[in-house]
């Protein structure tokens, strides 16, 4: 694979990846506290990155921070109720879009563009927007007008009010521009009346406290009916990477392997914090699926694995890798069907995979020919 690969040194193309892999191995192998980050790659890439981290004693993090720091934190703090896109589409008679990111995703993914027809007994689908800042979906099929609450309020505030009213607790008088109590109660009733409601939220719209409140509201609703949630998929294969980490190391990212066993710690092993605080002395950035090398990487010796067309001007060693599902096959989390799927190359090219490059680096580390 490497013989035909194109490699780049300090932003300038260079033919043949082997020398670049040797330099990457030297840069990473000589570091005392390396970090592997970005991690936008397929399952085999994540497996390889974790294995390399074990060999180097590195920290590993993924770029989809909101998913890791908020969504997975709430899962570990208090648990979650969730469903799949397909169940939400077919079974749900009330789609609740909580926050503007949920509206944007519903439109972009077109997951609810039709009414879904598998369950003939389902009533008409209702759509409710909570704290979406005025955003309304353009591509969600609904049998009734879209309802909304709290366009000018924070999601956390709206969820708190609803949770109080669902539980028949009083709420303090709201400022003049807030919704009337009757409007809150109407939405609470709409939610309680759903047979299978699904609340959709983008972790980028909410901190962990807000997501926790959202899950608490959903659990309350389940005392009398069925209600659940759906998270907007994490970018750059974030969900897939965290799952691979979970079965490989026992926990989600970020994880440190400097002590010979995994230590999961959102703060200690946060890649950006480690680099900007001067705690890291080398960075391996993996961006086969993106994202681009961030500005904070400029402060640390960097090896960047990037896709065609991406740049990594501050990196010391740049290796162009293939893109799973485009230049070569691989396994990726499929956001539409909500599970891992094997994908084929759409336009095969002789570019190395992330896993292959990392295997080369590992081989070079132990003194073999890369």
**Contact set with other proteins (CB under 8 A):** 43-44, 47, 50-51, 54-55, 72, 75-87, 90-91, 111, 117-121, 195-196, 222, 225-226, 228, 242-244, 246-252, 259-264, 329, 331, 334, 336-337, 339-342, 355
How do beta strands 317-320 and 6-9 pair?
antiparallel
Min dist. Cβ of residue 362 to other proteins (A): 11
Min dist. Cβ of residue 156 to other proteins (A): 20
Nearer to other proteins, 84 or 154 (CB): 84
Nearer to other proteins, 112 or 285 (CB): 112
* Rg of the chain, C-alpha, whole Å: 23
Nearer to other proteins, 13 or 346 (CB): 346
Q: Which of 39, 30, 36, 33 is nearest to 53 (CA)?
A: 36
Q: Are 318 and 336 in contact (CB under 8 A)?
A: no
Nearer to other proteins, 263 or 292 (CB): 263
Nearer to other proteins, 304 or 355 (CB): 355
* Cross-strand pairs, 93: none
Q: Which residues of 160-179 are buried (b: 16+ CB within 10 A; e: fewer)?
A: bbbbbbbeeeeeeebeeebb
Min dist. Cβ of residue 112 to other proteins (A): 11
Min dist. Cβ of residue 44 to other proteins (A): 6
CA gap 10, 36 in Å, rounded: 19
Q: Phi, psi (5° rounding) for residue 130?
A: -115, 120
Q: Which residues of 37-53 are buried (b: 16+ CB within 10 A; e: fewer)?
A: bbbbbbbbbbbbbbbbb
Residue 261: both structure tokens together: 């066993």
Task: Give the HSE-up count for residue 340: Cα atoms under 13 Å, Cβ half-sphere.
Answer: 13
Nearer to other proteins, 82 or 154 (CB): 82
Min dist. Cβ of residue 285 to other proteins (A): 22
Cα angle 258-262-266, degrees, rounded to a multiple of 5: 95
Q: Are 300 and 31 in contact (CB under 8 A)?
A: no
Q: Which of 5, 14, 1, 24 is nearest to 303 (CA)?
A: 24
Nearer to other proteins, 139 or 157 (CB): 139
Cα–Cα separations (whole angstroms), residue 106 to 134, 189, 267? 15, 24, 32
Nearer to other proteins, 120 or 369 (CB): 120
Min dist. Cβ of residue 59 to other proteins (A): 15
Min dist. Cβ of residue 299 to other proteins (A): 29
Min dist. Cβ of residue 117 to other proteins (A): 8
């Amino acid at each position: 694979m490497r013989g035909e690969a194109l490699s780049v040194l300090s932003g300038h193309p260079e033919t043949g990846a082997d020398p670049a892999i040797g330099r990457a191995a030297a840069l990473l192998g000589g570091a005392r506290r390396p970090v592997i980050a970005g991690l936008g790659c397929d399952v085999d890439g994540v497996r390889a990155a974790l294995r390399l981290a074990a060999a180097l004693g590195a920290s590993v993090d993924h770029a989809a921070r909101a998913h890791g720091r908020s969504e997975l934190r709430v899962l570990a703090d208090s648990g979650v109720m969730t469903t799949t896109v397909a169940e939400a589409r077919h079974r749900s008679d009330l789609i609740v879009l909580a926050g503007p990111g949920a509206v944007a995703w519903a439109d972009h993914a077109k997951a609810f563009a039709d009414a879904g027809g598998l369950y003939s007994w389902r009533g008409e689908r209702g759509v409710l927007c909570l704290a979406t800042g005025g955003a309304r979906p353009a591509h969600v099929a609904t049998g009734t007008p879209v309802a909304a609450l709290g366009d000018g309020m924070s999601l956390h505030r709206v969820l708190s009010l609803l949770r109080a009213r669902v539980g028949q607790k009083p709420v303090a008088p709201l400022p003049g521009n807030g919704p009337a109590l009757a409007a809150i109660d109407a939405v609470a009733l709409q939610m309680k009346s759903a047979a299978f409601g699904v609340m959709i939220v983008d972790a980028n719209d909410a901190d962990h406290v807000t997501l926790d409140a959202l899950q608490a509201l959903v659990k309350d609703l389940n005392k009398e009916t069925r209600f659940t949630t759906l998270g907007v998929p994490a970018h750059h294969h974030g969900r897939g990477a965290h799952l691979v980490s979970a079965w490989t190391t026992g926990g989600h990212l970020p994880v440190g392997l400097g002590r010979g066993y995994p230590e999961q710690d959102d703060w200690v092993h946060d890649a950006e914090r480690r680099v900007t605080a001067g705690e890291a002395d080398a960075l391996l950035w993996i961006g086969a699926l993106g994202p681009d090398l961030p500005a904070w990487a400029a402060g640390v010796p960097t090896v960047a694995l990037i896709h065609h067309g991406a740049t990594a001007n501050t990196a010391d060693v740049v290796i162009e890798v293939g893109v799973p599902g485009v230049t070569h096959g691989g396994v990726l989390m499929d956001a539409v069907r909500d599970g891992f799927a094997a994908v084929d190359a759409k336009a095969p090219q002789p570019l190395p995979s992330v896993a292959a490059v990392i295997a080369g680096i590992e081989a070079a580390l132990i003194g073999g020919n890369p």
